[in-house]
Amino acid sequence: MGAKLKNLILNSKNVILIFFIAFAGYLINLPTDYSKTMSTRTYRRLLTSYDVTAATFLPYELITKGNLFFSIETLEGMRRTEGPTVHSVMKVGDRYFSAYPILSGVMAVPIYLIPVILHKIPDLHYVENLTRILSLARISASFYTAISVSVFYLILTEIDKLKKFRTTKWIYLFVFFYAFGTNAYAVASRSLWQHTSSLLFVSIIILFLLKSIKNERYIKWLGLLAGLLYLARPLNIVFIFILTIYVFIKHRKQFPSYLLFSLPCVVLLLAYNQSVFGKLLTSEYVVKGDTKFSTPILKGLSGNLFSPARSFIFITPPLAVSFYSMVRVMITKKKTPLDIILTVLSITFIIMFVLYSKWWCWYGADRFGYGLFTEWLPIVSVFTYLAFKPSGRIIKIVFLILVLWSLYAQFNAVWFRKSRCSGDSHNWTFYCLKPLMFTDQEY
């Protein structure tokens, strides 16, 4: 009992320490971005994509006016950061709503609350106030991504127990790589993307799946997390569907509780859809007609597998090993409970990989790197860990070299490319990996 308590205390300290290191690391360049924005009067350092404008301003609207739609005053503030047309807003009737799921914005409300209540952002007419809004969005995204990193550490400790791996300092190196050598850094921590909230919920779902091997009480909570995951991003329904089948087959007694715990999210979703769009079963993507999976499959797959600007192999090379690990798990005949869960994760990622390769904008527009796969980082990172953890010294040295490259790619993206790799013209060049340390920055 004493040893268990000691391990629990040590683990709690590690989780808290990892959170603060990740959170501080994500925010270390915020003062620079803030001052540059104030001096240049250009907002793209903090507003990394026009896709996130609605989520960035929604917390302000909720706190000041209690609206889930945007008032004319807030919409004018959004236009000052983008221009006459706000990309992430759509008009429904005589009101303006977010053109994307709102959960990431709603989750940011606690971070915005105190500054707004204290009138630190009295209006949206001036550059200083708009810059503060964008800074709060950065803080919110960094906060939730740092939590995701802490949860990922717990995932690895759980895997060590289940695989009977000896837990060493290797785990801390891998968590550091996950936090700063993947798109958790360049995408999720930078702005209030749908990826940011999805990353958190995917991480917690994986942790609870692993813990449910020895304790079924975690299964019911998967229902709530699955509901939140759909609210964060509709295409996550693929994971939810596969997860639901798994729970039904392997945890039949817990299945009613699983469904019951998902009910609040279902009710909220249906109520929002009905009140805003006049239909129970719809989504923002359906309403605006953005549902095309029109990319030729070979073009999308080759791009996501081998593009210098979009693939794991060039942006974060260690993650490319995850494909090998997934295949190994799926062809294993005698599967342990852990192997079954890993198979569920493998099938999920492979289906998502194909779906995003078919998406009309398979390269993710102006997101840096493999932006569309950001929320699936916990899955590919787990499989990468399983490949490298039991390997010998030489393989680990190779891994370390590849980690250093990954850290460079993400650092260069965050500090100098403002987390963007615009358009499709550079998908097959190394332009987006080009070092910009010694060049003048546009803004």
Contact (Cβ atoms closer than 8 angstroms) between residue 282 and residue 347 = no
Q: Give residue-wise pLDDT tens across range 132-171.
A: 999 999 999 999 999 999 999 999 999 999 999 987 889 9
- Quote the tokens at residue 232: 């964060």
From CA 124, how far away is CA 150, in angstroms rounded? 35
- Residue 357 confidence (pLDDT) above 80: yes
Contact (Cβ atoms closer than 8 angstroms) between residue 231 and residue 103 = yes
Query: For the chain, how many residues are written?
Result: 443
DSSP of 296-325: -HHHHHHHHHH-TTT-HHHHSGGGGGHHHH
What is the structure's pLDDT at 211? 97
Q: How confident is the model at residue 438 (pLDDT cuts 50, 70, 90)?
A: confident
Determine what percent of the chain is predicted with pLDDT higher than 70: 98
What is the structure's pLDDT at 101? 98
**Arithmetic mean of pLDDT, 362-372:** 94
Query: What's the whole-model pTM score?
Result: 0.96
What is the structure's pLDDT at 167? 78
Gyration radius from the chain CA atoms: 22
Other C-beta atoms within 10 Å of 34: how many?
18
- Residue 238 confidence (pLDDT) above 80: yes
From CA 188, how far away is CA 406, in angstroms rounded? 16
**Arithmetic mean of pLDDT, 326-337:** 93
Q: How confident is the model at residue 361 (pLDDT cuts 50, 70, 90)?
A: very high
What is the structure's pLDDT at 156? 97
Helix (H, G, I), strand (E, B) or coil at 358: helix
What is the structure's pLDDT at 71? 97
How is residue 166 annotated by DSSP? P
Q: How confident is the model at residue 424 (pLDDT cuts 50, 70, 90)?
A: confident
What is the structure's pLDDT at 440? 76
Determine what percent of the chain is predicted with pLDDT higher than 90: 91
What is the structure's pLDDT at 422? 79
Q: Which of 154-168, 203-217, 341-355 has the lowest mean pLDDT?
A: 154-168
What is the structure's pLDDT at 233? 97
Mean pLDDT of the chain: 95
**Arithmetic mean of pLDDT, 328-333:** 92
What is the structure's pLDDT at 168? 83
Rounded to 10 degrees, the C-alpha dihedral 185/187/191/195 comes to -110
CA torsion through residues 162, 163, 164, 165, sign: negative
Q: Give residue-wise pLDDT tens across range 216-232.
A: 999 999 999 999 999 99
- Quote the tokens at residue 171: 């785990």
Q: Give residue-wise pLDDT tens across range 56-67.
A: 999 999 999 999
- Residue 5 confidence (pLDDT) above 60: no
Q: Cite the beta strand spans of 19-148 per DSSP E.
A: 89-92, 95-98
Choice between 380 and 391, residue whose per-residue pLDDT is larger: 380
Contact (Cβ atoms closer than 8 angstroms) between residue 322 and residue 387 = yes
Rounded to 5 degrees, φ, ψ at 92 are -120, 110
Contact (Cβ atoms closer than 8 angstroms) between residue 413 and residue 186 = yes
- Quote the tokens at residue 329: 């798990």
